[in-house]
Amino acid sequence: MSVALYTHASCLAHDPGPGHPESPSRLASVLDALEEERFALLVRVEAPRATRAQLARVHRAPYVDDLLANAPRSGWLQLDPDTLMSPASAEAALRAAGAACAAVDAVVAGDVRRAFCAVRPPGHHATAASAMGFCLFNNVAVAAAHAIAAHGLERVAIVDFDVHHGNGTQDIFCGDARVLYASTHQWPLYPGTGASEERGVGNIVNAPLRPGAGSIEFRDACIRTVLPAIDAFAPQLLIVSAGFDAHRQDPLASLELETDDYAWITRRLVDLAERHAGGRLVSSLEGGYDLGALRACSAAHVAALMA
């Protein structure tokens, strides 16, 4: 069954400025990797824009409107210490969130079985009313809310293996039992949330990993905590916050994952999607700041989605 790749040229044009780790070359590396012959069967789709209504399901309407209205005509607009908008950023943010919604539509319709959204800016730090940590709109949260509102799904699981905790995603859904949010992340680390005691209404599952933890600790946390929680929740759709910055080469964090760990966790998540969700899985790119590791890990992830 087919796997789709959603992306858009504007996601390459979003530029947080010279020296910023969330650079356009990140996405260029991912897309270049996916040009290899083994990815020839990917169904390539140009991401549409998210609609205001889709965004406003999880973001405050004034935040959406201000973000789209205030994009700079030249130079940069700084939204928080790490998060900047360039002239192309609003369009990129709309396409990044729109990719995730369109991917949900496609897997629910059965047009494709799984999808990977190769997009930026990333999303999991963005809260209902604020940009944060390189993120403008919370792409996976918008997608989960879309699956519930537009398709009537009652249980959506978001799995986040980015090295940073997805504080925005947790914050948006911490009172909503229709969405399970399960995260592995380094702790302590930015943004400081993600302690195992943070449980929401029983729908938040945090598996923090100490600095220096590697494959054994990561897989153990998945086997003991994350994967059983998803299995028990029996989601009708799996959404993945696919950050690759827990790799040992990443400059922003101190976990020691190997490329093969991303193939491993992806296979486990595909298995759970097959068991509970008719195979439906949508993955969206989050972090990953070593270009070589990002290239290899995203390729391993997509190859496992296609297996």
Q: Does 287 bind Zn ion (CB under 5 A)?
A: yes
Q: Give residue number: closest CB to Zn ion.
A: 287
Continuous segment of H or E residues that includes residue 4: strand 3-7
Q: Report, in Å, the least distance between residue 189 CB and Zn ion.
A: 9
Q: Which of residues 101-130 bind Zn ion (CB under 5 A)?
A: none
Contact 163, 246 (CB under 8 A): yes
Which residue, 155 or 165, is less far from Zn ion as judged by CB? Answer: 165
Q: What is the largest CA-CA distance in the chain?
A: 49
243 is a site residue for Zn ion (CB under 5 A): yes
Both structure tokens of 262: 């991303």
Does residue 290 touch Zn ion according to CB under 5 A? no
**192 CB-near residues (< 8 Å, 6+ apart):** 165, 167
User: What one-letter code names the amino acid at 285?
Assistant: L
- 8 a catalytic residue: no
Q: How far is the CB of 241 from Zn ion (least distance, A)?
A: 9
Cβ 52 to Zn ion, closest distance in Å?
27
Question: Residue 212: helix, strand or coil by DSSP?
Answer: coil
Q: How far is the CB of 246 from Zn ion (least distance, A)?
A: 8
Candidates 22, 245, 256, 258; binder of Zn ion (CB under 5 A) is 245
Residues 57 and 234: their CA atoms lie apart, in Å, by: 23
Residue closer to Zn ion (CB basis): 57 or 120: 120
- Give the per-residue contact string, 49-78, with Zn ion (x = CB under 5 A; - = no): ------------------------------
Catalytic residue among 125, 146, 185, 301: 125
Interface with Zn ion (CB under 5 A), residue total 5
Phi, psi of 17 (to 5 degrees): 115, 165
Closest CA to 284 of 244, 228, 256, 257: 244
Question: Considering beta carbons, is residue 173 or 289 the nearer one to Zn ion?
Answer: 289
The DSSP call for residue 89 is: H
How far apart (Å, rounded) are the C-alpha atoms in residues 214 and 67? 38
Positions in 160-199 near Zn ion (CB under 5 A): 162, 164
- Judged by CB under 5 A, which stretch of 27-35, 213-221, 243-251, 296-304 contacts Zn ion? 243-251
Q: What are the two backbone dihedrals, phi and then psi, of residue 237, each rounded to the nearest 5 degrees?
A: -155, 135
Choose between 245 and 256: whose C-beta lies nearer to Zn ion. 245
**Residue 240 DSSP class:** E
For the bound state, the minimum distance from the C-beta of residue 132 to Zn ion, rounded and expressed in Å, comes to 12
8 belongs to the binding site for Zn ion (CB under 5 A)? no
- Type and span of the H or E element at 28: helix 24-33
Catalytic residues: 125
Chain positions contacting Zn ion, by CB under 5 A: 162, 164, 243, 245, 287
